[in-house]
Amino acid sequence: MTMTTADFSQAAAAKAVPSMRRSFAEPRNLRSYLLTLSVWLIAIIASVPLFSVLYMLISQGGARLSFDLFTQLPPAGFMPGGGFGNAIIGTLVMVGIGSLISIPIGILGGIYLGAISPDSKLSETVRFVGKVLTGFPSILVGVFVFGALVQAMGTFSALAGGVALAIGMLPTVLLTSEQAIRMVPQRMKDAAVGIGCTTTQTVWKVVLPTALPGIMTGIMLGIASAAGESAPLLFTALFSNFWLESLVEPTASLSILIYNFSGMPFPNQIQLAWSASLVLVLIVLVFNILSRLFGNRKV
């Protein structure tokens, strides 16, 4: 028997209109609602540590924040005032040395791992070593550079500090560069090869420009974490109360200054340690934000 249109509408009318209202009486709705709420709360709890640390730094260190901090040397024992200009310069110089060493090696290594020979034995080994180095205790990096450089040179130095920071930055730059280079779509490489690019031209003209935002993100993250390091510098750069005059003398850094001054019995020094902490966090924050900006740039 065939049904006509009229039959269909009669059948539909016979059926009761189903209730489609949202109701929390239904267990699955309630469960879903509660789960959403708890995930939401936990997400907020996860961000509590960062904001409480920031709050403390601003309230404790913000009071002393002034131009003098950036232009003056650390004060002696009972002296008032002073600043930590030399420590800021020391941190920047050593992070700079670390970058000069780790960025070229990291990017070139990333090119090998990501574009030249991703599946070779050498690549697998280097990738593994890089991952191990990521989780390597930074204090041991300091001890290593102490043995390798400081003892050989006979002095603590910014150079040794920079090398120690470079070792810490290298795996970050290497592995993020590799990731960014691997993300370059195969069709881009096909296009370059298909038009007659050599491997070098393909990497240089197509792969690197496309991967650059990702590589920059890795570099900024590496710099941000290096700027906050203290353990590798303890054994390599030590500290200094004077302006940096040469790369082969003990050098001040913000992180070591915080470590030294926070343990002193003088209120002035403790206040300076708070301010230095705030400045250090701001420096790290700037590089983190830069990494986000580079990462968000559309290819």
Tell me the closest approach of the beta carbon of residue 181 to another protein, in angstroms.
15
Tell me the closest approach of the beta carbon of residue 148 to another protein, in angstroms.
38
Please state whether 81 falls in left (phi above 0), alpha (psi between -120 and 50) or beta.
left
Give every CB contact of residue 187 below 8 A, 6+ residues apart in sequence.
none
Residue whose tokens read 């290594």: 109
**Residue 192 or 221 having the CB closest to another protein:** 192
Alpha helices for 15-84 (secondary structure H): 27-61, 67-71
**Residue 15 or 187 having the CB closest to another protein:** 187
How far is it, in rounded angstroms, from Cα 283 to Cα 110?
A: 26
**Could you tell me how many residues make up the chain?**
299
**Residue 95 or 192 having the CB closest to another protein:** 192
Spatial contact of 165 and 237, defined as CB atoms under 8 Å apart: no
How far is it, in rounded angstroms, from Cα 167 to Cα 225?
A: 12
**Residue 139 or 195 having the CB closest to another protein:** 195
DSSP category for residue 148 = I
**Residue 182 or 286 having the CB closest to another protein:** 182
DSSP category for residue 73 = P
Tell me the closest approach of the beta carbon of residue 187 to another protein, in angstroms.
4
Spatial contact of 261 and 74, defined as CB atoms under 8 Å apart: yes
**Residue 53 or 191 having the CB closest to another protein:** 191
Spatial contact of 200 and 243, defined as CB atoms under 8 Å apart: no
Cβ count near 181 (within 10 Å): 24
Cβ count near 218 (within 10 Å): 27
Tell me the closest approach of the beta carbon of residue 212 to another protein, in angstroms.
11
**Residue 133 or 197 having the CB closest to another protein:** 197
- Taking Cα atoms as reference points, which of 177, 203, 182 lies closest to residue 192? 203
Q: How far is the first Cα of the chain from the last one, in angstroms, to the nearest whole number?
A: 62
Instruction: List residues binding another protein (CB under 8 A).
Output: 119, 185, 187-198, 201, 205-206, 209-210, 299
Tell me the closest approach of the beta carbon of residue 298 to another protein, in angstroms.
9
**Residue 81 or 209 having the CB closest to another protein:** 209
